[in-house]
Amino acid sequence: MFTLIKLVQSLFGALHSEGTEGQLAAGIVLGSFLGLTPLVNLHNAVIFAALVLLNVSFAGGMLGWALFVPIGFLLDPLFDWIGHQLLLAASLRGLWTSFYNTPIVPLTNFNNTVVLGSFVFALLFAVPLFFLTRWAVVRYRVTVGERVKRSKFYRALTASKAYNVYKMFRP
C-alpha cells in the first residue's frame, strides 16, 4: 500500500514539479533502464548515479522504474532472444571477446542474454520513450494539470511526509 501511495505521490509530484517536461521525460527514460534490465547489475549502479547526479526528475526515474518492472518481466523472453542473437552472432564475436577479457566490463554481466538483450532494448526504446513522455507531460499540463493541482486529493497527497523526502531530489 505504501509503495502504491509513494508511486502515486511520485507520479503527481513529478507531473506538477517545477521541472521541465524534458527533465521529467529524461528521468522516466533512466528509470526505464532500471525496470527493464535485471536490477542487480553494475550498469544499473551507473544509471542510478546518473539519475541522482544529473538534473533530471528523480521522481520521474522512480516512476519509470516502477512502471517498467512488470514490462521487463513480460518481455524477458524477447530480451533473451535479442541477447542470444547478439552474443552468438559471428560478426560480433571479436567485440564480445575483447569486452569479456577487459577488466570491469565482465562485471556488468553483458554476456548474459537477458542482460544484454534488455539493455539494448532499453537503449533503442529510450529515444521514442523520451519524446513520447515529453509530449504526454506537455499535454497533461496544458489540459487537466491545473485542475488536479487545485483538487483536495492533490493537496492531501502533497501534505504527506513522503512528499518532503521527494522534494529533496526534485529538479
Q: How far is the CB of 47 from other proteins (least distance, A)?
A: 13
Contact between 69 and 35 under an 8 Å Cβ cutoff? The reply is yes
Amino acid at 58: F
| Per CB under 8 A, 112 contacts other proteins | yes
Q: What distance in Å separates the CA atoms of residue 58 and residue 48, rounded to the nearest whole number? A: 10
Cβ atoms < 10 Å from Cβ of 23: 22
Comparing CB distances to other proteins, the nearer of 50 and 136 is 50
| Per CB under 8 A, 113 contacts other proteins | yes
Q: What distance in Å separates the CA atoms of residue 171 and residue 165, rounded to the nearest whole number? A: 13
Number of residues that bind other proteins (CB under 8 A): 42
| Per CB under 8 A, 165 contacts other proteins | no
Please give the residues from 26 up to 65 whose contact with other proteins meets the rule CB under 8 A: 38, 40, 49, 52-55
Decide: helix, strand or coil at residue 56.
coil
Comparing CB distances to other proteins, the nearer of 3 and 156 is 3
Q: How far is the CB of 122 from other proteins (least distance, A)?
A: 14
Cell digits of residue 41 = 547489475
Comparing CB distances to other proteins, the nearer of 81 and 140 is 81
Contact between 25 and 130 under an 8 Å Cβ cutoff? The reply is yes
Q: What distance in Å separates the CA atoms of residue 61 and residue 65, rounded to the nearest whole number? A: 6
Cell digits of residue 154 = 492533490
Q: How far is the CB of 76 from other proteins (least distance, A)?
A: 4
Residues found near other proteins in the complex (CB under 8 A): 20, 23, 38, 40, 49, 52-55, 72-73, 76-77, 79-80, 83-84, 87-88, 93, 96-107, 109, 111-115, 117, 168-169, 171
